[in-house]
Amino acid sequence: MVLRYDCGEVITAMVTPMTKSGDIDYDKVEALATHLISSGSDAILVAGTSGESPTLTNEEEIELLSTVKRAVANKAKIIVGAGSNSTETAIKYTKLAQKEEVDAILSVVPYYNKPNQRGIIEHFSAIAESTTLPIILYNIPSRTGVGMLPETVAYLAGKYKNIVGLKQSCPDMDQITEIKLLCPEDFVLYSGDDSLTLPMLSLGAHGVISVASHLFGTEIKSMIRNFKSGDILAARNMHKKLYPVFRKLFMAPNPIPIKAALEYKGFIESYLRKPLVQLTEDEKIELFKVIDSVKAELSEEG
């Protein structure tokens, strides 16, 4: 079956490396993007939640895009977070993304305003009508304060061909089933939580927009490929091995733990923009112990 638009199976929601002063470290951005495309990532999401998008300026987002483009050099797709709780602002970001020639955008359900389903439909309809870019909707009720219902997703997917997929960050498996039942077959579903990837694959998801793929991209890709090829046992075993990391990377608000982990592994420094703050030393020890344990188990079997 041909998908409406395929950004790949493993999309990494890339963090934005920063210096102690809070400036973006563009050298580390380029190095991290290069690492990601060599370790299982089919696409990179720039300026998503993991990239601390609420604190980025338009100018910084453009420079981030150009830096990641240079690193990727057409070896992976580039997606940019272009959502807002203001429809006019979301359209502005979407048009800017199209001008920058990205491959697709991720557009989140409006946060804080708490629109009803009709408001969500009007919001995404206006965005879809403003661009020819492929749009991946983003449903994350824990951050937005309101969830997008399966019927709403299906209406938008049915009306707009450039609304190509959904990142679903909600552990309700019944909703996943309903989305798959109601939406067109070529509409692409992504897990928005690493720990839900395998369960969602069993219900028809295509892949994951991942945080853990910063460190375990190859393993996550292997899990997905094994599942799709019918080696369910291998996929389940990989899920079980990675599960402790999946959970620990959300022991504090994302991207605090993954930035600490990337610093531990020597990729970036773990600086964040306020109001996010770094893990305590005890929390770091707890996180690093799990990462090392999982790495050791994978090495023993690899």
Q: Is residue 200 part of a domain?
A: yes
Task: Quote the domain boundaries for residue 197.
Answer: 10-230
- How confident is the model at residue 190, as a pLDDT? 98
Report how far apart, in Å, the C-alpha atoms of 240 and of each of 12, 13, 42, 136, 229 are.
20, 22, 23, 28, 18
Q: Is residue 2 part of a domain?
A: no
Once rounded to an integer, what is the mean pLDDT over residues 186-214? 98
Residue pair 239/231 in contact by the 8 Å Cβ criterion: no
Closest CA to 45 of 27, 59, 19, 64: 64
* pLDDT tops 80 at residue 298: yes
Residues pairing with 227 in the sheet: none
Residue 146, amino acid = V
Q: Is residue 265 part of a domain?
A: no
Residue pair 42/8 in contact by the 8 Å Cβ criterion: yes
The continuous run of DSSP H or E covering 137 comes out as strand 135-139
pLDDT, tens only, 234-266? 999 999 999 999 999 999 999 999 999 999 999
What is the residue whose two structure tokens read 């359900």? 109
Once rounded to an integer, what is the mean pLDDT over residues 27-47? 97
Task: Select which of 5, 93, 138, 271 is catalytic.
Answer: 138
**In the annotation, is 167 catalytic?**
yes
Which ranges in 1-116 belong to alpha helices (H)?
A: 26-37, 58-72, 87-99
- How much is the mean pLDDT over the chain? 97
Tokens of 232: 């369910």
Q: Is residue 125 part of a domain?
A: yes
- How confident is the model at residue 260, as a pLDDT? 98
> What is the percent of the chain with per-residue pLDDT over 90, rounded to a whole number?
98
Altogether, the residues listed in the chain come to a count of: 302
Residues pairing with 207 in the sheet: 190
Strand, helix or coil for residue 95? helix
Task: Select which of 167, 221, 248, 259 is catalytic.
Answer: 167
* pLDDT tops 90 at residue 301: no
Q: Is residue 26 part of a domain?
A: yes
CATH code of 148's domain: 3.20.20.70
Q: Domain total for the chain?
A: 1
Gap between the Cα atoms of 289 and 244, Å rounded = 10
Q: pLDDT-derived band of residue 300, with 50, 70 and 90 as boundaries?
A: confident
Report how far apart, in Å, the C-alpha atoms of 102 and of each of 117, 260, 298 are.
28, 29, 35
What is the residue whose two structure tokens read 């940019």? 80
Residue 243, amino acid = Y
Q: Is residue 126 part of a domain?
A: yes
Q: Is residue 277 part of a domain?
A: no
Gap between the Cα atoms of 68 and 78, Å rounded = 8
Tokens of 141: 């009720």
- How confident is the model at residue 302, as a pLDDT? 62
Gap between the Cα atoms of 50 and 212, Å rounded = 11
Q: Is residue 275 part of a domain?
A: no
Q: What sign results for the dihedral spanned by CA atoms 240, 43, 103, 89?
A: positive
The pTM for the full model equals 0.97
What is the residue whose two structure tokens read 């453009």? 62
Q: pLDDT-derived band of residue 126, with 50, 70 and 90 as boundaries?
A: very high
Which ranges in 83-212 belong to alpha helices (H)?
A: 87-99, 117-128, 141-144, 150-159, 173-182, 197-202
b/e per residue, 15-53, with b = 16+ CB within 10 A? bbbbeeeeebbbebbbebbbbbbebbbbbbbbbbbbbbb
Once rounded to an integer, what is the mean pLDDT over residues 167-174? 96
